[in-house]
Amino acid sequence: MKSFSAAKWLLTGLLFVTYQSQAQTAKKWTLDECVEYALQKNISIKNSELDKQVTEINKKDAIGNFYPSINGQASHSWNIGLNQNITTGLLENQTTQFTSAGVNVGVDIYKGLQNQNQLRKANLSIISSQYQLTKMQEDVSLNVVNAYLQIIFNKENLKVQQEQLAYDTKQQERTQELVDAGVVPKGDLLDAKATVATDNQRLIAAENALLISKLSLAQLLQLDEFQDFDIADAEVPVENSTVLLEEAKTVYEKAKQNRTEILLAANNVSIAESDLKIARGAYQPTLQGFYSFSTRAAYADRVVGFEQDAANPNSVIGFVDGTNQLVMQPNFSPVLGKPKSVFDQFSENKGQNFGLSLNVPIFNGFSVRNNVQRSKVALERSKIALEQSELDLERTVYTAYTDTKGALKSYEAAVATLESREQAFNYAKDRYEVGLMNVFDFNQAQTLYVNAQSEVLRTKYDYIFRTKILEFYFGIPLYKKQ
């Protein structure tokens, strides 16, 4: 039994060591790695990439409109039943076969510039799909940066709670010694224990917040194995952004030139203009050139010659005036032979047809007019969308500018408050240690100090993230591309 127990403890120890080594060697992700991975794995980005491929295929269709259309056709038929005999002209029950083949070629010479405008629209659609893809990548990057900073904040907040728990635990042990010595009342020990219990609750809440933030980023990255996901420890300094030295109007004008949503909306206006030109092109005549080649072959017997009818060699066709002499004519019967070879018939029966076809639209149930009207409405809608995008961007930039300045002031105020709370806490600690302050007032000062530390962390990362957003609108990338 002892040897079995020892083996069990040895196995447990080996598993623990293995787990610890795996935990120590687990990959820790940097911000750049997270963003790059998200851009590769995000489903919305993949769909945008597929949309871009579709627009490139549509461009090939538009180019193909300039090429001639070439189509070949061939048929073979059987006629069974009562058909006219081509040699005798009589109706007979028979089976005949025919083969025909041909090639048709058509080319648009003029089509109201619709093909040219279709190609222009296809090129603009490719640009729009690229803008849409870029916009999706920017949104994903922004979400990843926000989630990454949230993990860093939760890590630092967890450290604060751990340090506070360690300090309060020591205070509880010291209070226990003073109670045992009869220096302080037992109520102080109960307050110390309550403080430690509260610290444990805060520690658990901080651990849960950190775990949830890690899971959120791991799911955003769409990792299959996210149980051990973690980011690299990094200190994010608070820096005064140079963008805040600019006026909000300057930031907006810069964003208006570079932001993807504005470029996308403006490009959509150009696409709507191309659609209007295509619709108007249907008012104009179209001119097409055509050429066709065809041939045929039959499998019925053919007449190869004539011979005098042995049963009825002659027939009377009239009389000579005066003498009544009969006028005779020989009767000939056709001599049937096998049909010519298919290739010989194809060579003999070939024919060609070519020319020009002009189509002038006169009245088509107002379909062309209605399409033009719809295109005009779509154009006005796209112009309104562009105007709305500019207004949204202006509001967003001014809001981001104001929020960033406000976040900086909040952070500076939180730092000043923390300095005051730290001094007050140190003063309270000195008074408590010499018995000039009760434990309740000391805990109050300590709680205010801890809250001030948490507030500094919160305002710090709120300012950092808002600064990232403002710089992003100013054209500064969110991260360094690898």
**Would residue 53 count as lying in a domain?**
no
- pLDDT per residue over 438-472, tens digit each? 877 888 888 899 899 999 999 999 999 999 899 88
Positive/negative CA dihedral, 304, 308, 309, 310: negative
**Would residue 236 count as lying in a domain?**
no
**Would residue 209 count as lying in a domain?**
no
Pairing of strands 28-29, 230-231: parallel
| Residue type for position 39 | L
Q: What DSSP state is assigned to residue 71?
A: E
Instruction: Count structural domains, the chain.
Output: 1
The pLDDT of residue 305 is: 66
Q: Is the pLDDT of residue 131 over 90?
A: yes
**Would residue 369 count as lying in a domain?**
no
CA distances in angstroms from 405 to 152, 240, 248, 312, listed in the order given: 22, 10, 11, 121
The SS3 assignment for 78 reads: strand
Residue 311 domain boundaries: 306-334
- pLDDT per residue over 168-217, tens digit each? 898 888 888 878 888 778 888 888 888 899 989 999 999 999 999 999 99
**Would residue 173 count as lying in a domain?**
no
The SS3 assignment for 74 reads: strand
Tokens standing for residue 248: 């909000």
**Would residue 313 count as lying in a domain?**
yes
**Would residue 315 count as lying in a domain?**
yes
- pLDDT per residue over 361-372, tens digit each? 988 888 999 999
- pLDDT per residue over 73-121, tens digit each? 999 888 887 776 655 566 777 777 888 999 999 999 998 899 999 999 9
What are residue 335's DSSP bridge partners? Answer: 305
The pLDDT of residue 26 is: 66
The pLDDT of residue 16 is: 45
Strand segments (E) across 312-464: 314-319, 326-330, 332-337, 351-359
**Would residue 316 count as lying in a domain?**
yes
Of 386, 394, 409, nearest to 248 (Cα)? 394
Q: Which residues lie below 8 Å from residue 126, measured CB to CB, with a gap of 6+?
A: 52, 55, 56, 59
- pLDDT per residue over 243-272, tens digit each? 888 899 999 999 999 899 999 999 999 999
